[in-house]
Structure 1
Amino acid sequence: MTAPLRRLGFLTIGLFDEADPGPGHEATLRLIELGEQLGFDSAWLRHRHLQHGISSPVAVLAAATQRTSRIELGTAVTPLGLENPFRLAEDLATVDVLSGGRLNPGVSVGPPMNYEHLKEHLYPGTADLEDFSYARVERLLANLRGEPVSTFEGTQGIETFSRRIQPHAPGLASRVWYGAGSLASARWAGEQGLNLLTSSVVKAEEDDDFARIQRAQLDAFRDRHPQGAAARASQGLVVIPTDSATPAQRAKYEAYAASRLPRTREPQGLARMMFAPDLVGESAEVAEQLQAHAGFQAVDEVVFALPFTFEPDDYVQILTDVATRLGPELGWSPA
C-alpha cells in the first residue's frame, strides 16, 4: 500500500505560434492561474531553446508571480550549459522575491543539445573550454546562498556595492532541484543535499524496466542524502485522465500515447535511454497503475507532465480531472 499523495504539481512546455507567440505565452500563464484555483501545489515550466516552447521560463514565472499568490513555481529543468550561474542567480533571486519565496529552480548539467551547431554563437572563442560538469551547479548554489562573488564591497561615489548576489533570497538554495537521469547523478544530487526531480526519461544502466530504474535512482538519491528517507523527491510521468474528456479528446489522447509507445519497449540509442509509457484512462484506472509503479511507491509528491502538442481546452480538461478525480484517488487533497 502506497502512502497518500502529499503534493501534486504539473509541468508544461508552453507551446506558441512562431508567427504570433503572445497568445501561447498568455495561455501558459492562464494555465498556471487555473492550477492555483484547482489547488495544485506547484506548476513547472520546461526550457525549450530554439523551439516553439517557452525559452525563458524564469521570465514567464516572473509574470506568474503577479497573477498567483500561493502555488509554487518551478523550472523542470534549466540546462545550465546555456546559463551563466552569476546572471541566473540574480534572475532566480529576483523572481523568488517577487513570489514571496515560492520559486523552485530545477537544473541539470551537460553540454547543450545540438551544441556543435550553436556553440560559436553561445560561447564565441571559449566554446571548447566551457565546463559543463556539476561544478556549474555548485557555482549557482554558492551564489544563491550568498557566498561572495566579488572582492569589493563598499561605496563608489553615490553607488553602494555588495560582495554577494543581489537581491539575496534566503532559503532559495534549499529549494533547488536536480533533474537526474542516471544513478550517478541521483547519487550526486543526494550528496549535495539537493531535491530530486525524476522524469519520464531515464538511463538504462542496470535494468531495462523503467519503473525499477526510476525506483533505483530514488533509492540511490536518499541513500546519499543527509536527510535520508525524508529527502524531497518528485516523480514525473505523462498522465492523462479522461474522466470528463469528450470522445474526440479520448481518441486523440489514446492515439498520442500509442504513437509514443514503441520507444518505451527497450532502451533507445547508444545512451540506452528508457522512456516511460504515457498513462491514459479513467482516474481510477490510472491511480491503480500508479500505485503498482515502483517509482511512484517511493514518493509522496509528483509533477505530472502535460503532453507537448495539445490544445488549451485539452489542458484545462486534463488538469481539472487530475485535481478533482485522480488526485483524490491517490489520497491527495487540494491546497
Structure 2
Amino acid sequence: MPRRGEPLRKLGFLTIGRFDAADPRPGIEETLEVIERAEALGFDSVWLRCRHLQPGISSPVAIMAAATQRTRRIELGTAVIPLGLENPFRLAEDLATVDLLSGGRINPGVSVGTPMQYDHYKTALYPESHDLQDFSKERVLRLLRALRGEPVSDFAGTVGIEQFTDHIQPHSPGLADRVWYGGGLSSAIWAAEQGINYLTSSVVSTQDISGGTSCVDFATIQGQQIDAYRAHHPHPERARVSQGLVVIPTDSATDEQVRRYREYAAGRLERTRAPQGPRGMLFSPDLVGTSDELADRLFAHAGFQRADEVAFALPFTFRPDDYTQIIRDLAEHLGPRLGWSPADSR
C-alpha cells in the first residue's frame, strides 16, 4: 500500500471531457490531446467520465477507440459507464474491439441502477420495454459473461457461406479481468466476490459505517470499504483498488489560479460537513495545496493508505490551461512525492 517510503503503483486522472454543445468538436479533440499529453508525462492511466444528454463524454468507447490510435502505452478507463443505458451484448462487442486495437489497455468501469433522469427519456431509450428493464447487478454479470467468451447464442455453425459462433466476436482475452465496479460497502463486497476490480470515489454512504454512526469520517468509511473488498476477494493479492478524489496541486499555478482553486473548494466544503439525503451520503473535501501539503494529507488518509493506484478527478468547471497546469503538477511534483515514477522511467 502507498505509505510514506513505499511506491505508488499507478497514477492516473479522471476527466469529464467537456465541450460546447453548439460546437462540440474542439472539446472532443481537446480530450484526445489531454490523453496524449498524459502519456507523454508518464501517467499510467486516463479515465473518462460518462454523461448522457449533457455536453460531456456520452460515448467513452468511441473516445477510447480514437485514443488507441494516438497512444501506445497508457491505460484507458471509464468511470463509469452506466449500464442501464447499454445492451451488455453490444457493449461487449465494442469494448472487445477497442481493447484489441489498444493492445489490451482498456479498463471498463461500470455501474448499475436506474439511469439519472430516466423518466424523462425512457420511452426514447426503450420504447416498448422501459418498465420491464432489469437495472440490477445482473446487467454486470451479463457483460462479464459476454467478455469472457461464454455462449450468448444456442447456435454455432455455417449457414450458406457465413460462419457463426455462439460467443461474442471479437474476443479479447483478459478484458473481463479489467472490469471495474464502484459503490459502497455492499457493492465492494459483491465486486470482490465476482473478482471485479474496485473503484472508489469522492462520495461514501454513512450507512456503511462499521461499529455505529458516531464516527462520520469520509476517510475512515472509505478505508473500511476497501478492507471489506480485499477480505472478500478470492485472490486479494491480485485485486486492484483505485482511489478517486479531487486533488488539485498548486506548485506551478499562478496566484490567480490558486485563488480560483481555493474558492472552488470552499464553495463545495459545506456538503462535506454532514451526511446528505436519505442514504447519508458524505462527500470528501477537495484537496488543494502544494504537493508537499497534499502528500502529507494523502499519506494520513485511510482510503489512500489502502489503495493500489489513484485516479484523481479533474474538477468539472476549470479552464483548459488549468487542466494543463494540474496534470503537469500531478506528474512532476505530487506523483514523485507519493513514491510514483513515470511509466517510461521504470
What TM-score results when the alignment is normalised by the length of structure 2? 0.95
Structure 1's consecutive aligned runs of 4 or more residues displaced over 3 angstroms after TM superposition are none
**Alpha-carbon separation, structure 1, partners of 2:341 and 2:260:** 29
Post-superposition CA distance 1:212-247 (Å, at most 9, x none): 111111011111101125411011100000000111
Structure 1 residue 254, shift from structure 2 partner = 0.8
Q: 2:41 aligns with which of 34, 38, 46?
A: 38
Is 1:301 the counterpart of 2:309? The answer is: yes
The two structures, once aligned, show a CA RMSD in angstroms of 1.0
**Alpha-carbon separation, structure 1, partners of 2:110 and 2:305:** 24
Is 1:264 the counterpart of 2:272? The answer is: yes
- Which range moved further: 121-130 or 75-84? 121-130
Q: 1:320 matched to which residue of 2?
A: 328
3-state SS of paired residue (1:240) = strand
- Which range moved further: 228-237 or 80-89? 228-237
Structure 1 residue 202, shift from structure 2 partner = 1.4
**Alpha-carbon separation, structure 2, partners of 1:230 and 1:96:** 21
Structure 1 residue 155, shift from structure 2 partner = 1.7
3-state SS of paired residue (1:303) = strand
**Alpha-carbon separation, structure 1, partners of 2:229 and 2:324:** 34
Q: 1:67 matched to which residue of 2?
A: 70
Q: Which amino acid aligns with 2:76?
A: L
Aligned length: 334
Q: 1:103 matched to which residue of 2?
A: 106
Query: Does the Cα contact within 8 Å between 1:214 and 1:295 map onto a contact in 2?
Result: yes
Q: Which amino acid aligns with 1:324?
A: E
**Alpha-carbon separation, structure 1, partners of 2:236 and 2:157:** 42
Q: Which amino acid aligns with 1:112?
A: P
Structure 1 residue 289, shift from structure 2 partner = 0.4
Which residues of structure 2 form unaligned runs of 5+?
Answer: none
Q: 1:196 aligns with which of 189, 195, 198?
A: 198
Q: Which amino acid aligns with 1:329?
A: R
Q: 2:97 aligns with which of 90, 94, 99?
A: 94
3-state SS of paired residue (1:228) = coil
Structure 1 residue 250, shift from structure 2 partner = 0.8
Post-superposition CA distance 1:189-212 (Å, at most 9, x none): 010011000001111112421101
3-state SS of paired residue (1:280) = strand
Q: Which amino acid aligns with 1:89?
A: A
**Alpha-carbon separation, structure 2, partners of 1:125 and 1:258:** 46
- Which range moved further: 248-257 or 84-93? 248-257
**Alpha-carbon separation, structure 2, partners of 1:296 and 1:230:** 18
Q: 1:183 matched to which residue of 2?
A: 185
Is 1:331 the counterpart of 2:333? The answer is: no
Q: 1:154 matched to which residue of 2?
A: 157
Q: 1:250 aligns with which of 258, 279, 294?
A: 258
The 5 Å alignment of 1:111-122 reads: 111-122=114-125
Post-superposition CA distance 1:128-160 (Å, at most 9, x none): 211111100000000000001111112222221
Q: Which amino acid aligns with 1:184?
A: S
Q: Which amino acid aligns with 1:13?
A: I
Q: Which amino acid aligns with 2:205?
A: K
3-state SS of paired residue (1:314) = helix
**Alpha-carbon separation, structure 2, partners of 1:11 and 1:141:** 23
- Which range moved further: 65-74 or 199-208? 199-208
- Which range moved further: 278-287 or 114-123? 114-123
Is 1:174 the counterpart of 2:177? The answer is: yes
**Alpha-carbon separation, structure 1, partners of 2:204 and 2:53:** 23
Query: Does the Cα contact within 8 Å between 1:4 and 1:300 map onto a contact in 2?
Result: no
- Which range moved further: 190-199 or 220-229? 220-229
Query: Does the Cα contact within 8 Å between 1:177 and 1:194 map onto a contact in 2?
Result: yes
**Alpha-carbon separation, structure 2, partners of 1:204 and 1:55:** 30
Structure 1 residue 125, shift from structure 2 partner = 2.1
Q: Which amino acid aligns with 2:285?
A: P
Is 1:11 the counterpart of 2:14? The answer is: yes
Q: 2:244 matched to which residue of 1?
A: 236
3-state SS of paired residue (1:295) = helix
Q: Which amino acid aligns with 1:202?
A: V
Q: Which amino acid aligns with 2:239?
A: A
